[in-house]
Each structure stands twice: as C-alpha cells, then as structure tokens.
Amino acid sequence: MESSQKVQQFLRTALSYYGKEIALPSEQIFTIDKIVEVGANPDEDNFAIQYGFPQSGAVCMDFAYSRSNNEFYIDGVEVFAPPEGEDLVMASFTPHQEIDEIGISVNFGLDTGTIKHAKLEEIDRNPNALKLLDLAIQDLENAEVLGPCRVAVPEGSTRIPCTDSTSKPRQSGMQGQMQ
C-alpha cells in the first residue's frame, strides 16, 4: 500500500518540527495541536495535525503518543483531494489589513471541489490524494524553522498548539535602512 508509507513519512516529517514555528514555501497552513481531554488516558498524549484546508486540499491526522511504550499510534488520517481526473489546485487566500500599527491577516482555503478520503484504500485509488501527500511531504521537507512555537492559548482551550506555520516576513524594499 503506497498510501501507508506516505502517511508514515508525512508523520515523521511533521514531527521533526514539533515545538517550532515554521514557514512553508507554499505558505499553506500547518499545525500540530495537543488535544486535552478530561478523563483521557494519563499515559497517552493525543494530537492532531492539519496541513492545508479541507476545502482546497489537505492532510489531517489524529495520532497518539504512549509514554509507557514510547510509541506513536496513528488513529486516523484524512486526505482532502479532488476526484481522480480533476486538476489538483491548492488555493488559499490571505487578505492583510493594516489598522493603525497592527497588521491583521486571515488565512482560508478556497473551495476547489475536494472530497474526503478517510481510508488508505480510498487514498490509494485516487492519484490526486497520493499526489497531495507527496506535495505536503515535500513542502514540509523544505520548511524554514523561524523559532519556537509561541501561539497564545486561550484559557480552557482543549487544543494546545505545538507547531504552527506562518508566512515568512517579506522584505519591504528598504533593506538596510531604518523605517
């Protein structure tokens, strides 16, 4: 099964950025969040990974880490890709607005007609789903580490950001000059 190997490679590559803030060449969204659940097994940490937006092409994965066994377990994977024969286009939009001295950006995916593939057999049958996994792996392999992950967590949140992607700061054209 080709998809099984790609899913494992995706997880290994994603985990290499655990605890970091990164910039991806594609500027796609990428997160690893720890899931906090009341009454969860105290020996196990649960996580969720998201690369891209489901409506425009994404890889989403739930996995757990067992401290006693020192092992990772993949609980589920979903690849959102266009049907076989359709073009694979990952389209996202990031409008940016300056308000006084604060810059506000909102990142969201544009609908490109993706469908959810939640089983390895489904992923194997759709070349676009396999291609999307390849693109995600390649994009992550070329990520630039910007520093530690410093995403603020609202009080009472059940998702703790462990890894986050952001757009790489752009040069303003005034390189070397004070602004």
At 166 the pLDDT is 87
Query: Is residue 153 pLDDT above 80, yes or no?
Result: yes
- Closest-CA residue to 37 (of 162, 159, 165): 159
At 13 the pLDDT is 97
Average pLDDT over residues 105-125: 77
pLDDT band at 97; cut points 50, 70, 90 = low
Neighbours of 151 (CB within 10 A): 13
Name the pairing type of β-strands 44-53 and 30-35: antiparallel
At 175 the pLDDT is 42
Which residue carries 């060449």 as its tokens? Answer: 25
Q: Could you tell me which residues are beta bridge partners of residue 78? A: 60
Share of the chain above pLDDT 70, in %: 78
At 105 the pLDDT is 52
- Is residue 36 within 8 Å of 153, Cβ to Cβ? no
Q: Where are the domains of the chain?
A: 2-165
Q: What is the pLDDT of residues 12-62, one digit of tens each?
A: 999 999 999 999 998 889 999 999 987 888 899 999 999 997 877 899 999
Average pLDDT over residues 71-97: 77
Query: Is residue 172 pLDDT above 70, yes or no?
Result: no
